[in-house]
Amino acid sequence: VIFDGSLRDTVWYSTYFKRLRREFPGIRIAIIHIIADKHEVLKRAKERGESTGRVVPVRLLEESMEQVPKSVETLAPKADFACRVVNRSGVEPYLERVESATSPPDSVPLTWDLVQKLWTELDRNCDGHLSFDEVQEALQSGLLTQEVLDSVDLDQNGSISPFEFTKAKEAARDSATIKYK
């Protein structure tokens, strides 16, 4: 699930993250905060407004540039992955850690390869379950957090069985299905 937003209402997002975890066991929540220099943001917004007709008031852009970093710092500890992408003109985008984030842990290098791996299958041998070793590797590499594991690992043995995957899928399906009486 990708949700694009300013994260300005941290109380609402904190509640929303909890609800997502409760209703969709195994969901991993990431915050990817894109930043740029103020003058570049204003210049890009002006150019975009001229070409698309969608004009964003400068005051609103400035408020967002002030508030969003604070929101990211508040919400990052509640996410399973958080980073910043620095997007400056003339420079290849690069990653920075979010100071308050607990994942990825400081022991894990923050690289584009790590970001790419967030979207790959954790079941290395494709046998339909995550063994204790696969889970430990995912935890240590920053691809999985204990909170995500706990939401799926019903017997709390450090692995995820096919039965546990099935129960998580059923819970997610039930949460996403409208039931008519």
How would you write 25-88 as a 3-class SS string? CCCCCEEEEEECCHHHHHHHHHHHHHHHCCCCCHHHHHHHHHHHHHHHHHHHHHCCEEEEEECC
What is the four-CA torsion angle of 140, 146, 150, 152, rounded to 10 degrees?
-50
Percent of the chain past pLDDT 70, that is, above it, reads 98
5-50: pLDDT as tens digits: 889 899 999 999 999 999 999 999 999 999 999 999 999 999 999 9
CA distance linking residue 115 with residue 78, whole number of Å = 18
Q: In this predicted structure, what is the pLDDT of residue 3?
A: 72
Given a cut of 70, whether residue 117 has pLDDT beyond it is: yes
Given a cut of 70, whether residue 64 has pLDDT beyond it is: yes
pLDDT band at 181 (very low <50, low <70, confident <90, very high): low
Given a cut of 90, whether residue 165 has pLDDT beyond it is: yes
Q: Which is it for the CA torsion 99, 111, 132, 16, positive or negative?
A: positive
